[in-house]
Amino acid sequence: MKALIKPGPQPGFELVERPEPQAGDRDVKIRVLTTGICGTDLHIQGWDAWAQANIRTPLVPGHEFYGEVVETGALVQDVKVGDRVSGEGHIVCGTCRNCRAGRRQMCIRTVSVGVQRDGAFAEYVVIPETNAWVHHDESITPELGAIFDPFGNAVHTALSFPLVGEDVLITGAGPIGLMAVAVARHVGARKIAITDVSASRLELAKRMGADMTVDVGRMHLDEAQARLQLAEGFDIGLEMSGRASALREMIDNMTHGGRIALLGLPTEEIAVDWGKVVTHMLTLKGIYGREMFETWYAMSAMLQTSKALHEAISGVITDVLPAADWQAGFETAREGTGGKVVLDWTRI
């Protein structure tokens, strides 16, 4: 099969011929149709400090995907050949305390597809049956199916706290931040503001349903708060950027008792005014991945019951390229000015 690999400990990928993966007794083998390019993939391609610390080569990266099941292991019970699926990229042990308590997203032995084991930037990928999410809704296109993983990040983050009637601040208008706008609007938030420095991404945020977009290079959040006529500050914060300045300014603009969900991974230590966190009784909650599998049920149900949300999430995909043009796809994703970039593996 054709596969995009990280051949060794250096920057770059190579598109090569590689043996097809073999399915174990409890696995399913999937013919990959589409894959999304994630920030994690950019780290692996660039071979930055995070990648050097976490990646063993050779590796097939890629964890956002949609495809068709072509083979099932002898002990597979529910997934069938011909099923169209997305994949939960976190493979858990099933026996640690959190797994046994039904909190599999907190497994202490998590192995990530495309990070610790070969992933989906290839014509075929193998995952456990339990990680395959079968799409019965024919409205799920291969492009939309490929971004269920990051859509799940957005849903998990946005639904961490009740949003109905609340004023929401989202920092970072990348693809997940954009999807979080649409989710917050669907759920019933009152006012939604989102920050970024990319004019094109902020324009996309308006289409998602944001009441106000804030170019933080030109405007401070306290001014945005005044324009929205928020007397006491934002109720809910969704931090998607990982930037120190974003978190600090978010904390400064929360109402007393405000709640913040943190998805963005910082690349540096962040100095926080902990006195304000204490005296303003703020709640900060870390978010990683998706709840397994409550988030998957929630996002599937929301897309089935809301045409507006379905159109908004589909609209986050701004670029679909043949997998053969993967280099152009990665360059577009790295520019950080558009939405989600999807590679089509039927065109390789």
Peptide bond into 7 cis (omega under 30): no
Question: What values do phi and psi take at 165, rounded to 5?
Answer: 75, 5
> Within 13 Å of residue 87, how many CA atoms lie on the same side as its CB?
32
Q: Determine whether 43 is an active site residue.
A: yes
Sign of the alpha-carbon dihedral angle for 242, 245, 246, 250: positive
Q: Residue 111 and residue 272: Cα distance in Å, rounded?
A: 31
Tallying the residues shown for the chain, one arrives at 348
3-class SS of residue 105: helix
Q: Which of 34, 35, 43, 156 is catalytic?
A: 43
- The set of residues, in sequence order, having a beta carbon less than 8 Å from that of 94 and lying 6+ positions away, is 100, 104
Q: Determine whether 220 is an active site residue.
A: no
Show the tokens assigned to 174: 């990348």
Q: Which of 35, 40, 171, 295 is catalytic?
A: 40
Q: Residue 261 and residue 239: Cα distance in Å, rounded?
A: 6
Show the tokens assigned to 142: 């291969």
Q: Residue 106 and residue 238: Cα distance in Å, rounded?
A: 20
Q: Which residue has the tokens 């014509």?
A: 123
Question: What are the distances in angstroms from CA 34 to CA 5, 215, 267?
Answer: 16, 33, 29
Catalytic residue positions, numbered: 40, 43
